[in-house]
């Protein structure tokens, strides 16, 4: 079974530029999450989708971050404009609604210079 | 999910020694999940605990959920170099949101 796919794996940009990350969850997983993991910290939830609807985006910095999952399958997370403190690994995860285990992708490592 | 605190932040052991990490909350936890993240890797699910006082074992790993559902622990017996990584606990909500602790970094010296 294919896992959660993410791209790009690495991205280096300058502050105030924009960046987009893509995630394709495991087939059939209705729930999709974007987490931000800053070096030395645990993952922090940015946004949770169920199908194409947002369940929780309370910790998403909406002035610069946006995410969509238009067809309820793959998702895009965008940052515009980026700040130095956005340097982190952006992890996508998915699971079946009501089940506990999250399946994480390899992550997209962002460096903002 | 509630904020969970993990201790210790770091643990260095000799191969063969035991290791324990603790997860604590000031409020009652809905359920606890444990994940392992290898250096440079992504979090991988280990186990979920739901019931008060629950104890689960996976080979050399023993997971416990406190009677009051405010704490949890992960114990590894006779560590091996393959156990190296960061161990996270995470508090889960009914709709699936996980709030992760800051993790315990385990180093195993051969």
Q: What is the pLDDT of residues B3-57, one digit of tens each?
A: 899 999 999 999 999 999 999 998 899 899 999 999 999 999 999 999 999 999 9
Contact B43 A91 (CB under 8 A): yes
Residues of B in contact with A44 (CB under 8 A): 100
pLDDT value of position A95:
92
Residue with tokens 């998702």: A75
Q: What is the rounded CA–CA span in Å between residue B25 and residue A73? A: 35
pLDDT tens over chain A, length 113 residues: 689 999 999 999 999 999 999 999 999 999 999 999 999 999 999 999 999 899 999 999 999 999 999 898 999 999 999 999 999 999 999 998 777 899 999 999 999 99
Q: What is the rounded CA–CA span in Å between residue A94 and residue B77? A: 31
**Is residue A65 exposed (0-12), middle (13-18) or buried (19+ Cβ within 10 Å)?**
buried
pLDDT value of position B73:
98
DSSP state of B46: E
Q: What is the rounded CA–CA span in Å between residue B26 and residue A30? A: 32
Q: What is the rounded CA–CA span in Å between residue A81 and residue A14? A: 10
Interface test with A, best of B98, B99, B101 (most A CBs within 10 A): B98
How, if at all, do strands A10-13 and A108-112 pair?
parallel
Contact B39, B53 (CB under 8 A): no
Instruction: Look at B92 and A80; give whichever has higher pLDDT.
Output: A80
Which of A79, A91, A70, A78 has its CA nearest to residue A3? Answer: A91
Residue A89: in which H helix or E strand, if any?
strand A88-95
In this prediction, residue B93 has a pLDDT band, given cuts at 50, 70 and 90, of confident
Phi–psi pair at B9, nearest 5 degrees? -75, -35
Measure in Å the smallest separation between the Cα of A82 and chain B Cα atoms: 23
Contact A102 B31 (CB under 8 A): no
pLDDT value of position A102:
94
């Amino acid at each position: 079974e294919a896992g959660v796919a993410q791209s790009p794996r690495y991205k280096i940009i300058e502050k105030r530029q924009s960046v987009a990350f893509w995630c394709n969850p495991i087939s059939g997983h209705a729930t999709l999450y974007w987490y931000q993991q800053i070096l030395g910290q645990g993952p922090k939830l940015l946004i949770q989708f169920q199908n194409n609807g947002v369940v929780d985006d309370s910790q998403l910095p909406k002035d610069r971050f946006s995410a969509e999952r238009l067809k309820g399958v793959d998702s895009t997370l965008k940052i515009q404009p980026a700040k130095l403190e956005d340097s982190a690994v952006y992890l996508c995860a998915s699971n079946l609604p009501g089940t506990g285990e999250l399946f994480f992708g390899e992550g997209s490592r962002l460096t903002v210079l | 999910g509630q904020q969970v605190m993990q201790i210790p932040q770091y643990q260095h052991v000799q191969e063969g020694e035991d290791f324990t990490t603790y997860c604590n909350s000031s409020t009652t936890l809905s359920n606890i999940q444990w994940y392992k993240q290898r250096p440079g890797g992504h979090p991988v699910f280990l186990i979920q605990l739901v019931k008060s006082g629950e104890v689960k074992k996976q080979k050399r790993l023993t997971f416990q959920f406190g009677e009051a559902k405010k704490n949890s622990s992960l114990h590894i017996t006779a560590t091996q170099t393959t156990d190296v990584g960061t161990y996270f606990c995470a508090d889960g909500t009914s709709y699936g949101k996980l709030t992760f602790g800051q993790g315990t970094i385990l180093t195993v010296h051969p």
